[in-house]
């Protein structure tokens, strides 16, 4: 992942030093477990821990140089670790294990930690969305379907639905975290032929990872579920971003991204204030979603394993978690700094001459005894008249005898009552405030 879209915390999870530190801890724990079973001398297990190399940039460089010879990253890692420990203890490193025991356990450990960071960022975003939703609970705006004025809503209700969607994403991510917080040290084809299950159990307990049945590799449906949770969050981020981009268009101008002192929107046009955060989020979501397809294709491997998944995962697992963490952080800041123009929202609502109250009028005519189709045609005709002649819809209706001669009389004031249209918005907030 390029530096531009990294967060320091997530970059640390996926760094080479972190990866090899995890490998080393797995190796040391396995050696200690073998010692507890009497396979490895206690003194050698102690020496392995005491003489283990520090995993830093210099160590990573040594492994990379050794890999030029071995053409195998884990074999190179084991060589360097054994050389650093030396003596009679060094050869016990990697005893009975296959490379994927170490790699898959370390990878699941990394994904679990990545999930924890994403969960914390999701919590922060939801908290901000709840604050913003409640602040704009009564900020009236026009709802739109197909990009066209529909009926009144509030900006707070819109944001509340976003918060509820991210809560569902949070639950998906928690489930994916549980599914990926696993490990295996069961050998070349998963039969424990050269390493007893007690070793696996010891290491799993120490790392708080659940041992699971496996072939040489942990089944990749778990990794695909992790990527699905990432893709779902990315899709929700884009849902919000696309809406904010539309609402910031000059013709709408109901919200604006915060604009910092000294910021420039365009190198050529000084008047520009562009929705750059929302556009960045929209773009990055495409990358995360595409990674899910690659992850699903990694599920089907040959027999007990092949490495067709390996090169893919080196890219998509770090990149997806890094991008999602970045997007969640950036979206939270966007919402926190969002400028909401309540006056413009009200003006836009009024700009369609009141035709947005067509349904209450329709229902009033039906209640007066008309068939629904007859009532619909009357209201539709008058709404089109109002729009074409730029006249208040209420005035047009008041001049229509088919409407005004109904018994019981049609109460146009009630039909055009904005408070009545929004009287049950509290139902959405009852769900929001239960989060």
The first and second tokens of residue 269, run together, are 């046009």
By the 8 A CB rule, do 30 and 97 touch?
yes
The first and second tokens of residue 98, run together, are 């296959």
By the 8 A CB rule, do 117 and 10 touch?
yes
What would be the CATH architecture of the domain defined by 355-415? Orthogonal Bundle (1.10)
pLDDT tens digits along 26-83? 999 999 999 999 999 999 999 999 999 999 999 999 999 999 999 999 999 999 999 9
| Within this chain, domains 1-95 and 98-193+209-253+274-349 share the same CATH topology | no
Alpha-carbon distance of 218 to 402, in angstroms, equals 72
User: Which CA distances in Å does 76 have to 23, 82, 95, 206, 430?
Assistant: 12, 10, 15, 25, 58
What is the reported pLDDT for 260? 86
User: Which CA distances in Å does 90 have to 31, 227, 269, 300?
Assistant: 10, 38, 66, 37
Residue spans of the domains in the chain: they are 1-95, 98-193+209-253+274-349, 355-415
Whether 266 sits among the annotated catalytic residues: the reply is yes
What is the reported pLDDT for 2? 87
Q: What percent of the chain clears pLDDT 90, i.e. is strictly above it?
A: 96
Alpha-carbon distance of 35 to 92, in angstroms, equals 10
What is the reported pLDDT for 403? 95
Alpha-carbon distance of 270 to 273, in angstroms, equals 9
Taking alpha carbons only, the member of 235, 280, 245 closest to residue 147 is: 245
Which residue in the list 146, 303, 389, 424 is annotated as catalytic? 146
Whether 285 sits among the annotated catalytic residues: the reply is no
What is the reported pLDDT for 231? 98
The CATH number, out of the four listed (1.20.200.10, 1.20.120.790, 1.10.8.100, 3.40.50.261), of the domain defined by the range 98-193+209-253+274-349: 1.20.200.10
Q: Is residue 408 reached through a cis peptide bond, with omega within 30 degrees of 0 on the bond before it?
A: yes
Domain 1-95 has CATH 3.40.50.300: no
Which residue in the list 12, 58, 266, 420 is annotated as catalytic? 266
Check whether 23 has a pLDDT greater than 90: yes
Model confidence, pTM: 0.95
Check whether 201 has a pLDDT greater than 80: yes
Check whether 103 has a pLDDT greater than 80: yes
pLDDT tens digits along 303-359? 999 999 999 999 999 999 999 999 999 999 999 999 999 999 999 999 999 999 999
């Amino acid at each position: 992942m390029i530096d531009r879209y990294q967060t320091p915390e997530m970059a640390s999870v996926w760094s080479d030093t972190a990866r090899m530190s995890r490998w080393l801890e797995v190796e040391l724990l396995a050696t200690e477990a073998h010692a507890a079973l009497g396979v490895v001398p206690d003194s050698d297990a102690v020496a392995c821990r005491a003489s283990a190399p520090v995993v830093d940039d210099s160590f990573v460089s040594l492994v990379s140089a050794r890999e030029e010879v071995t053409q195998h990253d884990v074999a190179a890692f084991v060589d360097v670790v054994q050389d650093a420990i030396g003596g009679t203890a060094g050869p016990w490193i990697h005893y009975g294990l296959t490379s994927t025991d170490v790699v898959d356990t370390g990878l699941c450990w990394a994904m679990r930690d990545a999930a924890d960071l994403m969960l914390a960022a999701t919590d922060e975003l939801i908290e901000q969305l709840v604050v913003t939703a409640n602040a704009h609970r009564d900020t009236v705006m026009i709802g739109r379907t197909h990009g066209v004025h529909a009926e009144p809503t509030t900006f707070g209700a819109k944001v509340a639905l976003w918060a509820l969607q991210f809560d569902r994403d949070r639950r998906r991510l928690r489930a994916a975290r549980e599914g990926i917080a696993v490990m295996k040290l069961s050998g070349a084809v998963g039969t424990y032929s050269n390493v007893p299950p007690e070793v696996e159990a010891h290491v799993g307990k120490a790392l708080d990872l659940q041992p699971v049945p496996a072939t040489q590799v942990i089944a990749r449906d778990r990794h695909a579920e992790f990527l699905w949770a990432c893709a779902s969050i990315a899709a929700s981020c884009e849902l919000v971003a696309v809406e904010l981009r539309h609402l910031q268009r000059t013709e709408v101008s109901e919200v604006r991204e915060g604009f910092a002192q000294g910021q420039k929107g365009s190198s050529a046009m000084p008047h520009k204030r562009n929705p750059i955060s929302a556009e960045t989020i929209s773009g990055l979501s495409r990358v995360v979603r595409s990674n899910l397809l690659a992850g699903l294709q990694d599920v089907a491997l040959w027999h007990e394993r092949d490495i067709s998944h390996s090169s893919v995962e080196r890219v998509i697992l770090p990149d997806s978690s890094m991008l999602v963490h970045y997007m969640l952080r950036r979206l939270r800041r966007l919402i926190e700094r969002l400028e909401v123009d309540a006056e413009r929202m009200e003006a836009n609502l009024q700009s369609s001459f009141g035709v947005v109250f067509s349904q209450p009028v329709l229902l009033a005519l039906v209640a007066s005894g008309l068939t629904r189709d007859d009532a619909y045609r009357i209201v539709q005709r008058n709404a089109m008249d109002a729009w074409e002649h730029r006249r208040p819809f209420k005035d047009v209706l008041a001049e229509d005898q088919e409407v005004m001669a109904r018994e019981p009389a049609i109460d146009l004031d009630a039909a055009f009552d904005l408070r009545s249209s929004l009287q049950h918005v509290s139902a959405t907030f009852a769900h929001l405030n239960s989060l």
